[in-house]
Structure 1
Amino acid sequence: MGFLSSLSSAASAPDEVRETVDPKHPRDPVLAQMFGDPDGVSVTPQSAMRVTAVYACVSLISETIAALPLHVYKRTVSDKGVTTQAKMTEHPLYSVLHDMPVAGMTSFEWREMQISHTALRGDSYARIILGRDGRVRELPPILPDHIQPFRNAAGQLRYRWWPDGMGPVRILFDDEVLRIPHKMLDGVNSLSPIATHRQTIGTALSAGRFLRSFYQNSAQPKGALTTPEALSPDAVTALRESWNKRHQGPDNAGKIAIFDGGMKWEQIGMSMDDAQYLELQKFSVGDIARIFLVPPHKVGEMGAATFSNIEQQAIEFVVDTILRWVRRIEMRMNSYLLSAADRAAGVFIALDMKGLLRGDAAARSAFYRAMFYIGAMNPNEIRKAEDMNPYEGGEEFYVQGATVPIDSLGMGAPGAGNDGSVEEMIAQAVQKALEAEQTRKMRNE
């Protein structure tokens, strides 16, 4: 809830007593603009998005997760102990999550917004609206500024919610809210990445402000005009206007300065090279990328990337960054959107990451082929590793050669007893090969 909104609410309802969000929290843009911060830069989720590295990190994470297929599955186990899973397109929750969680927002847009809220403010919220059948009907989002978690005297998690950001407060139960927190240290409040690292982001904002000032208002070259004689105020004003007109602004940068009347130029201040502005920009990008655990090359900083390791870094992005977000979302959705009966029946919600986790297809194919030909993996184990359902007969193990089932060679499954028939067949094959080679030599002679 905004600072001005809280003042307005207090004036309209003087008898109402309630807690509000911490007025020092940077999520309140009105308060930040009024009082700023100790470093003189207002760092809010809105202002932080003006930093290209922050915008790129938040967009990359939110859009990547929003682009993943979101399905409702059912897991079943056959009489032979084979586990399969199938999409439950007929489940009431499927259309809500896969198509449109709330009127006017597609699943992609809804997830993009929710993840952006979590990445910027530390939390995202959505009300769980049930239909008459007790099933989830829609998930309208709640602005993080309008809701606050707390625990009551009994230790139960509850939420204070201001529907319009300023009116009377409503209390929501834990099972009425789908919350996706970023990082909690006390089990109630989440750490906002922007609030936690506001100094780092503020440095990037200050650098951007300096760059704008440098190009818009700075006269080149920098320094002072000195003269041995005193100038009248009118002469000083005329000289300053003439100098700025000729040298100020990006269009006039680098023009030759001509001095007469004993005037001299004295260099003052630092140049852009001295200030190492470009190095500062690169450092800021890397620092902000570390906040969101995003590889710098994914947001355009290619200093540490090479053609030999760029693919490995892309895989690390999926494993070290996206996978954490996916597990956080899946566990929250499975806990709050599915009924106990659904979970007991093997129903679960999952994001399909097959396309992101594939990595090097050639290396993966070679690995499966090698494991298959030595009898270490059967077809169904390979299909399971690729998130594919097994097929009847896919439990057989094979060895290279005629590619026949191991049982037909008398060897049995891996680890089973061996009656020596395979050794005999190998010995016979070797003997036949030796005899054939000896016959060939005799004919040549």
Structure 2
Amino acid sequence: MRFIQRMKMAWNVLTGRYSGLGYDFTKWFSPSNIFAGKTSNTLATVETIFAAVSRLSNAMASLPLKLYQDYTPVNNPIADLLANSPNPNMTSFDFIRTMEVCRNTHGNAYALKIYDDLYQVAALLPLDPSRVEPVIEEKTRELWYEIEGDEGRYFVHNMDMIHVKHIPTVGQSLAYHSVGYKGISPIDVLKNTVDYDGKVRTFSLEQMNSAILASFILKLGANVSKEKKAEILNNFKEFYQANGGVIIQESGMEITPIERNIIDTKVFEVEKITRGRVATVFNMPVHMLGETEGHSYSSMEQLSLEFVQGTLIPIVRQYEQELNRKLLTKRQRSRGLGFKFNVNALLRGDIKTRGDFYFKGIRSGWFTPNEVRAYEELPPMKGGDKLYMSRDLTPIDQREGQPEQEREEVIIRR
């Protein structure tokens, strides 16, 4: 299955032709199918996992994605496709967020490249991850994707599929030879944690329901028959309900209320353990899931930096390399073109830190004023494209008594 087969498969999935003789892609792109099954149920019922997936997917979808040539943004059809509308039904934000939700629940996210009549990419359509399996072609050893369609199975070459994943599997079946090509589902990793958390929640609800009901110990001064006990209990219940919870203690009877905690404090310790395990699996600081105990404001800023550098950067790098490899030609890449997510907005910190950073950058000659204005989303100003060096900076080898004019402010034009 080489180039001819790839071309044949590509022509079978032209824009607007999702079904035909012998193939039907219609249900692959149905939004209701993408999150079907146990994974969706876990995502909808476990708040901690939902928070982690929501945090990661929203963070990635919020990052600006542009095509650059070296350091200059480039606007062409493929750049416009990714930046605005990867397919007729989604914005760029929706597309990246959907891919991230699939990646963080199933372990893999797939988007099929749809071509126009000129064999140019016209759309990127997310697929149901449960219907896709990476396989290696026996003779060529090339990676293909086996897709379970509604009327059979189809094979798509790896260059026609965008695939981002979590940590890949090891020790797959030798029949598929797919070691390293399929990601592990974080929810599968968290199965024991989810089950344990569910049992604790069930126990807590039962405990809370029983604690809401008032309970008493009735101590009688003498032994009575079963019939008399039942009569006393019924009279007590009727009196209690009829008088709004007011009880009159008669002689010969001692009433002791049973005190219960509505929620055991150890339940909160279990929730902390769950948050810690979920944060570990998703490789993110636990404070991103609402666990702020023991963290000050200054440490929170450092932890946010850790989230960007330790969590987002590897994900960003995976997306960039996948998009560069499969949406750009080798010639375009050799000319310096490449997709980049802008993570600088997440690294700027507070106003004071940002101001000091820009101040040092301009005075030291590695920022122009207009570059700083661009970071702050302000329009450029005339004369702002020059690099400046402060006049109070003197080279370490400056001779004493050197004429003042040689130490005047230096203006360097780019």
The alignment status of 1:303 with 2:288, answered yes or no, reads no
Cα gap change, 1:156 to 1:424, in 2 (>3 Å):
closer
Give the TM-score taking structure 2 as reference length: 0.70
Residue-by-residue CA offset, 1:341-373 (whole Å, 9 max, x unaligned): 221222111112221121244335435545765
Cα gap change, 1:225 to 1:46, in 2 (>3 Å):
farther
The alignment status of 1:174 with 2:158, answered yes or no, reads yes
Cα gap change, 1:304 to 1:364, in 2 (>3 Å):
same
Name the residue aligned to 2:144.
158
Residue-by-residue CA offset, 1:211-248 (whole Å, 9 max, x unaligned): 3334446653568889855636x959x859959x96xx
More strand by share: 2
Name the residue aligned to 2:69.
74
Q: 1:210 aligns with which of 194, 203, 206?
A: 203
Higher alpha-carbon deviation: 142-151 or 300-309: 300-309
The alignment partner of 2:134 has SS state of strand
5 Å-filtered alignment, 1:17-416, equals: 44-75=39-70, 85-89=71-75, 91-154=76-139, 155-164=141-150, 167-185=151-169, 186-216=179-209, 220-221=213-214, 229=224, 231=226, 235=230, 271=261, 276-367=266-357, 369-370=359-360, 377-379=365-367, 383=371, 398-401=389-392
Q: Deviation at 1:140?
A: 0.9
Letter matched to residue 349 of structure 2:
G
Give the total of aligned pairs.
353
**8 Å contact 1:122–1:190 — kept in the other structure?**
yes
Aligned equivalents of 1:203 and 1:342: distance in 2?
51
Aligned equivalents of 1:92 and 1:29: distance in 2?
33
| Unaligned ranges ≥5, structure 1 | 1-26, 33-43, 76-84, 247-251, 407-413, 430-445
Aligned equivalents of 2:48 and 2:307: distance in 1?
16
Cα gap change, 1:263 to 1:135, in 2 (>3 Å):
farther
Name the residue aligned to 2:26.
none
Aligned equivalents of 1:336 and 1:313: distance in 2?
34
Deviation above 6 Å: which 4+ runs of structure 1?
A: 27-30, 222-227, 256-268, 386-389, 391-397
Cα gap change, 1:398 to 1:295, in 2 (>3 Å):
same
Aligned equivalents of 2:142 and 2:296: distance in 1?
51
Cα gap change, 1:396 to 1:103, in 2 (>3 Å):
closer
Q: Deviation at 1:257?
A: 7.2
Q: Deviation at 1:206?
A: 2.4
The alignment partner of 2:295 has SS state of coil
Aligned equivalents of 2:97 and 2:114: distance in 1?
20
Cα gap change, 1:230 to 1:149, in 2 (>3 Å):
farther
Cα gap change, 1:267 to 1:103, in 2 (>3 Å):
same
Q: Deviation at 1:172?
A: 1.5
Q: Deviation at 1:287?
A: 2.6
What percentage of aligned pairs have identical amino acids? 22
Letter matched to residue 391 of structure 2:
Q
| Unaligned ranges ≥5, structure 2 | 1-33, 170-178, 408-414
Aligned equivalents of 1:133 and 1:192: distance in 2?
37
Cα gap change, 1:278 to 1:423, in 2 (>3 Å):
same
Q: Deviation at 1:400?
A: 3.0
The alignment partner of 1:184 has SS state of coil
**8 Å contact 2:131–2:147 — kept in the other structure?**
yes
Letter matched to residue 47 of structure 2:
T
Letter matched to residue 62 of structure 2:
A
Q: Deviation at 1:378?
A: 4.2
Cα gap change, 1:29 to 1:353, in 2 (>3 Å):
closer
Letter matched to residue 182 of structure 1:
H
**8 Å contact 2:316–2:341 — kept in the other structure?**
yes
Q: Deviation at 1:202?
A: 2.1
**8 Å contact 2:369–2:384 — kept in the other structure?**
no
